[in-house]
A = this chain, B = another copy of it.
Amino acid sequence: MTETNSILIKDTTILSDSIIKGSVLVVDNKIEEISTNLVDKDADIVINGQNKITMPGLINTHSHVAMTLLRGVGDDQDLQTWLNEYIWPREAKLNEELVYAGSKLAMAEMIKTGTTMFNDMYFYMEETAKAVEESGMRALLGYGMIDLFDEEKRKSELNETKKFIDKCHNTADGRVQVAVAPHAPYTCSEEILKESKKLADTHNLKLHIHVSETKQEVTDLQKERNETPFEYLNNIGLLDENTIVAHGVWTTPEEMKILKEKDVSISHNPSSNMKLASGIAPVNDYIKNGINVGIGTDGVSSNNNLDMFSEMKLTALLQKVNTLDPKVLPAKETFDMATKNGAKALGVNSGEIKEGKLADIILVNTNVPHMTPVRNPLSNIIYSALGTDVDTVICDGKILMENKELKTINEKKVISDAINAAAEL
């Protein structure tokens, strides 16, 4: 997948910071030109963009993709019951083969619903990296470290991350980047958190961590340390522009100031926060305070799919009802969260249809009843579209799906392999 190529998306509705009718020329892995006069340009591949909205590929800022194998496990349970009785016993049985099968299934699902990049934290991450390389997607991948305050475990977890950095960072033509990923303040010692940050700084990597997901974890930490989670993390030097925080549901106004000052990015995961009854994140406050927020799906068993279109709609709707103000989180702000804010969070030159950006592009079919009429393409994308309206997906200048047919993944085989793998858990 390294040959030089060009793709012309002809006569389409381009939705990015503005909405224009025109064509997009991709050369190699970049957007070369956007114009209303590109129709006669030569290109190796020409895609008819009529009746389609051409927009940036969606960026899922928080996932555990191999958990697709656990779809439907432990619905409607308390978080602790869910973890102790349903999730952890099954995760204990994971191995390379199963994570590979679950990752491939996730990538089929993500591509089919318009996601071109995701930020993942899980186990056996070399397998997920292999699946990313094969699928043609882009990903930031971190091995989820949990030391449970044990020194031996701390060393082995850090070692696992170092091995993963050495083997996979900046591979697959740069499509795979590695992050350092300590799981959370309540599962990680202060020592491993500090070592994680050191490791991230040494290699100039992002750091991905769960913070302030549940009220309980915040209360526990405050009791123990007399600090709120973000105060604690700030005091040990963990927070800066390379930090990606999943959740941030119970953030206080004081913590908000820290996050802004340190330029931390947040991944908001509305389905997961609602399904596990974690709470409603103050997304509107984050945005008003100038804090960068992306959107994530979290793992499939707390969602139960990887459809970023559902998450976008949910993000907007949840903030409106939570503030009792229908004007908050308008369509454009929500769109930005799932595209360019995600790109900023993950440190990648994408998320916009703009000359010089990476060619991570999707085409969404509007020629269906639920997208008719198209008075405002942005409105239809945020409030009317379903993930399955995605017709064509381009990532890093390569076509991963065309006319709803996956080009880099054998869908039938991936589904059948995943069914077999899930049966082992």
Contacts and interface: CB of A to CB of B under 8 A. Distances in A.
Given A274-B321, A277-B323, A422-B373, A330 B388 contact: no
Contacts of A411: 369
B331 A419 contact: no
Given A367-B415, A383-B275, A327 B108 contact: no
* Interface size range on A against B: 35 or more
A376 interface: yes
Contact of A75 (B273, B331, B419): B331
Number of copies of this chain in the oligomer?
A: 2
A298 to B, nearest CB: 12
A16 interface: no
A311 B278 CA distance: 20
Contacts of A278: 321
A212 interface: no
A324 B277 contact: yes
B310 A277 contact: no
A12 interface: no
Nearest to A108: B369
Given A82-B326, A305-B370, A370-B113, A321 B279 contact: yes
B383 A304 contact: yes
A325 B77 CA distance: 9
Interface string A302-342: 01111100100110111011011111011100000000000
Contacts of A108: 369
A140 interface: no
Contacts of A382: 75
7 A-B pairs with least C-beta separation: A274-B317, A109-B369, A304-B383, A72-B379, A373-B422, A72-B375, A76-B330
A164 to B, nearest CB: 26
Contacts of A38: none
Contacts of A370: 109, 112-113, 305-307, 387
A326 B373 CA distance: 37
A323 to B, nearest CB: 7
A167 to B, nearest CB: 27
Given A112-B369, A373-B69, A326 B277 contact: yes
Interface of A: 68-69, 71-73, 75-79, 82, 105-106, 108-109, 112-113, 215, 271, 273-280, 300, 303-307, 310, 313-314, 316-318, 320-321, 323-327, 329-331, 367-370, 372-376, 379-380, 382-384, 386-389, 411, 414-415, 418-419, 422-423
Contacts of A69: 373
A112 B368 CA distance: 10
Nearest to A377: B72
A310 B307 contact: no
29 contacts: A68-B369, A71-B375, A71-B379, A75-B330, A75-B382, A76-B331, A77-B326, A79-B326, A105-B372, A106-B369, A108-B369, A109-B370, A113-B370, A274-B317, A274-B320, A275-B383, A276-B320, A277-B320, A277-B325, A279-B324, A280-B321, A303-B383, A305-B384, A305-B386, A306-B370, A307-B386, A369-B411, A372-B422, A388-B388
Given A276-B326, A277-B323, A305 B383 contact: yes
Nearest to A113: B370
